[in-house]
Structure 1
Amino acid sequence: MTWTTGPLAAFDLETTGTDIETDRIVTAAVVRLEPDGSVSTERTWLLDPGVAIPEEAAAIHGISTAQARAQGAPAPRAVEEVTQTVAEVLRAGTPLVVMNARYDLSLLDRECRRYGLESLSERLGSLPSPVIDPLVIDKHIDKYRKGKRALHALCAHYGVSLDDAHDARADAVAAARVVRRLGEKHRPVGTMSLADLHDLQVRAAAEQSASLQAYLRRTTNPAAVVERAWPVIPRG
């Protein structure tokens, strides 16, 4: 039995922007996929982030400031529930699939700090593990493939349907299905132990960041710095 034949959990956020230090969670989802690909359990959240949602962010995920304020749960309560749910998944030993984990897990960490809550790492006593990030793994195993690596592009490449992109639940389900297809197609990855796979991604993410940083310094910004830590960027 390999991780590709067992259950997977998946986690996704939609947010007010792309800066982990200042932006806020708007929606979140944690789902569990069984070996046959069906969703057996799921939790979703709509938050009032406590700040205005920029129009460009609302255009992506479809949640306006007015809707979040009228229907969203208070952010501190919801962030606590999300973090506790993710912690329970990892304590149970279920692999957690997170597309671009460095962003989602780091933003969750900063939200916990913002509201004086225990972070995911503090609850677990270590960095979150095992995490499976389809973005990091796909770049590692298919380094020179041209084209985008966003979730919709990975879904197209691996033959996974994504009917409601930028909905947290839909994206979480799609990410888990992508990573299972990826593991089935690339057996050296699909047959790794979860501990070895997690460690591989720590190294691969660092190598990918170093490569991007070198490219940016050559082409556009001599002072560019690209974060290498994965799956959580340390707090400054």
Structure 2
Amino acid sequence: MERPAWCTRLGVFDLETTGVDVAHDRIVTAHVGVLDGDGAIVRQWSWLADPQIDIPDGATAVHGISTAHARAHGRPASLVVGEVLDRLREVFAEQIPVVAYNAPYDFSLLKHEAMRHGLAPIMTPSPVIDPLVVDKRLDRFRRGKRTLDAVAAHYDVLLEAAHTASADAIAAGRVAQALGGRFADVLPSTCEELHTHQIGWARAQAESLTEYFVRIGRIDAADPIDGTWPIR
């Protein structure tokens, strides 16, 4: 069966950061690009920022950027954040869906960075495709991790230099295209319809995970997992 039309041109977006707190952590590297229907890179932009705070050793161990390197070679964070916002707005304005793996993390952190630097945030990114949400919906009973590297391997997508913003963004886009091919018979044909479906899918996935974590005593029922998508 023919892949959905949205597979023919996809934006891709990823951030590598100082940590996992979207409200307080900072961008270290970023990538925005556009892929054609074969997954080839049509346009791409990459950035290295000086986050203006120390990069924890744990974060450096993930993406390889130290505080010293970022301060020596990174551009001012306000300029980087502004340019990332501009490039994303350009892609959305062309009606190209943007792929982001675990989209609420990247878009929410970018929102807080924008506000931190007095820039207008992207408050309602759309249309967005999140391969994590789609994969968990369409192959929900598959065992194993759902990290990008694990999911990329499952769909035979090459991920070189994992945890660099460019490699992760491009791999996520190609995973989205692989999902489009594997599940063409059940996926919406338009990116707008898929975006709407993912809002409900993400909410249901968060509710299911909350129930599980409450059952095993990991979290309290009064503190459920936030399933808001694609930005919190």
What is residue 207 of structure 2 aligned with on the other side?
210
Residue number among 39, 42, 45 corresponding to 1:40 in the alignment: 42
What is residue 140 of structure 1 aligned with on the other side?
137
Cα distance per residue 1:181-207 (max 9 Å; x no partner): 111000135452111100110000000
What is residue 187 of structure 1 aligned with on the other side?
184
What is residue 176 of structure 1 aligned with on the other side?
173
Query: Structure 2 counterpart of 1:16, which letter?
Result: T
Which ranges of 4 or more aligned residues in structure 1 deviate by more than 6 Å? none
What is residue 23 of structure 1 aligned with on the other side?
25
Answer whether contact 1:217 1:224 (CA < 8 A) is retained. Answer: no
**How far apart, in 1, do the equivalents of 2:180 and 2:39 lie?**
14
Compute the displacement of 1:100 (Å). Answer: 0.4
Q: What's the RMSD between the two structures over aligned residues?
A: 1.2
Of stretches 206-215 and 191-200 in structure 1, the one that deviates more from structure 2 is 191-200
Identity of aligned residues (%): 46
The answer to whether structure 1 residue 99 and structure 2 residue 101 are counterparts is yes
Aligned ranges 1:1-236 → 2 under 5 Å: 2-121=4-123, 127-220=124-217, 221-222=219-220, 223-233=222-232
Cα distance per residue 1:96-132 (max 9 Å; x no partner): 00000010000000101111110013xxxxx111100
Distance 1:109 1:169, change over 3 A: same
Compute the displacement of 1:5 (Å). Answer: 4.2
**How far apart, in 2, do the equivalents of 1:213 and 1:76 lie?**
36
Compute the displacement of 1:6 (Å). Answer: 1.4
Answer whether contact 2:4 2:184 (CA < 8 A) is retained. Answer: no
**When the two structures are aligned, how many residues end up with a matched partner?**
228
TM-score by length of 2: 0.95
Distance 1:209 1:33, change over 3 A: same
Distance 1:5 1:137, change over 3 A: closer
Compute the displacement of 1:46 (Å). Answer: 0.1
Does the residue aligned with 2:34 lie in a helix, a strand or coil?
strand
Query: Structure 1 counterpart of 2:68, which letter?
Result: A
- Unaligned 5+ segments in structure 1 are 122-126
**How far apart, in 1, do the equivalents of 2:77 and 2:227 lie?**
29
Distance 1:78 1:206, change over 3 A: same
Of stretches 206-215 and 189-198 in structure 1, the one that deviates more from structure 2 is 189-198
Distance 1:10 1:212, change over 3 A: same
Does the residue aligned with 1:31 lie in a helix, a strand or coil?
strand
**How far apart, in 1, do the equivalents of 2:18 and 2:85 lie?**
18
Does the residue aligned with 2:185 lie in a helix, a strand or coil?
helix
Answer whether contact 2:14 2:168 (CA < 8 A) is retained. Answer: yes
